[in-house]
Amino acid sequence: MLLNSKYNKDMYKLLSFTLVGVVALAVVVPAFVGGQVRQSTNYQIERDSINVGGGYGTSTNFGLQDTVGEVATGRSASTAYMIDAGYQQPDDTYISITSPTDINMDPINGLIGGTSTSSIDWTVTTNSNAGYSATVKAATSPALTAVLDTFDDYTPVGSDPDFSWSIANTTAAFGYSVSGADIVDRFKDNGSACNIGTGDTAEKCWDGFSTTPKTILQTTSANAPSGTVTTLELRAESGTNKILTADDYSATITVTAVAL
């Protein structure tokens, strides 16, 4: 879509995304002692840990649980794998999030309006048995801005996201929807409304960005090693009776994932 000849720039070009993985640590102490061969389809541990004793000592400020009879304990690691050998080695809880590239959205005609839609994917992986949560926020308010003009942050009609995108023809707005296996109830739908049902209809349940983090993902179990893919659908629209200044519009969006 080309701009009117009066305007010689794309309405907006760059949406840069900074995705941040936040790590929480936990220490897990097993509740049993034993040794056996463990295996799966692709891996086998030939020798586990066999212990002959141990105990638990405490003082006013500290507790110590020890094990007697272990050999070859400690951490070993390679590029793709890590093992904490030994009965009481800590289990490091980890979380990772992929970092996508910037998005170049199609231009919008500043005189007669139009709509531009794009999407971005990322994968969150955690071994936390309690799962993880993720939030999204914009760096500025409104999120999509240029030097002299802005797109309003999309505003749903009610407290829940709008099932279908809709703006007045005298306005310009920028918003998002989110889809994936871990989306919170707010973005699920029953085929006609959001925050109800268990559906995940594509390009539905639209919300607006804020500089305050909004929770978009939540799960209560680990998903390592494959992780879970989430899609953030982005949409910008200028109404037919809205005139926008020709310029490069940009937004910086941050998604933060935290292991629970």
Residue 39's DSSP bridge partners are 44
Count of CB atoms situated within 10 Å of the CB of 213: 14
Mean pLDDT check: name the lowest of 6-10, 34-38, 80-84.
6-10
Question: Side-chain half-sphere of 224: how many Cα atoms within 13 Å?
Answer: 17
Residue 167's DSSP bridge partners are none
Count of CB atoms situated within 10 Å of the CB of 228: 17
Handedness of CA 159, 161, 163, 168 (dihedral sign): positive
pLDDT exceeds cutoff 60 at 13: no
pLDDT exceeds cutoff 90 at 172: yes
Helix, strand or coil, per DSSP, at residue 160: coil
Per-residue pLDDT tens over the stretch 237-260: 999 999 999 888 989 898 999 999
Q: Read off the pLDDT band of 7 (50, 70, 90).
A: very low
223 or 101: which carries more pLDDT confidence? 223
Q: Read off the pLDDT band of 103 (50, 70, 90).
A: confident
Helix, strand or coil, per DSSP, at residue 47: coil
Question: How do the residues of the chain divide into helix, strand and coil, expressed in percent and rounded to 5?
Answer: 0, 40, 60
**Tokens (6 digits) for 221:** 């179990």
Amino acid identity, position 49: S
CA nearest to 162, candidates 142, 181, 189: 189
Q: Read off the pLDDT band of 132 (50, 70, 90).
A: very high
**Tokens (6 digits) for 60:** 């006013």
Q: Read off the pLDDT band of 29 (50, 70, 90).
A: very low
Q: Structural domain boundaries of the chain?
A: 14-25+95-259, 38-85
**Euclidean distance between CA atoms 33 and 139, whole angstroms:** 51
Q: What is the pTM of this model?
A: 0.69
pLDDT exceeds cutoff 60 at 16: no
Query: What proportion of the chain, given as a percentage, has pLDDT over 70?
Result: 65
CA nearest to 112, candidates 227, 24, 207, 242: 242
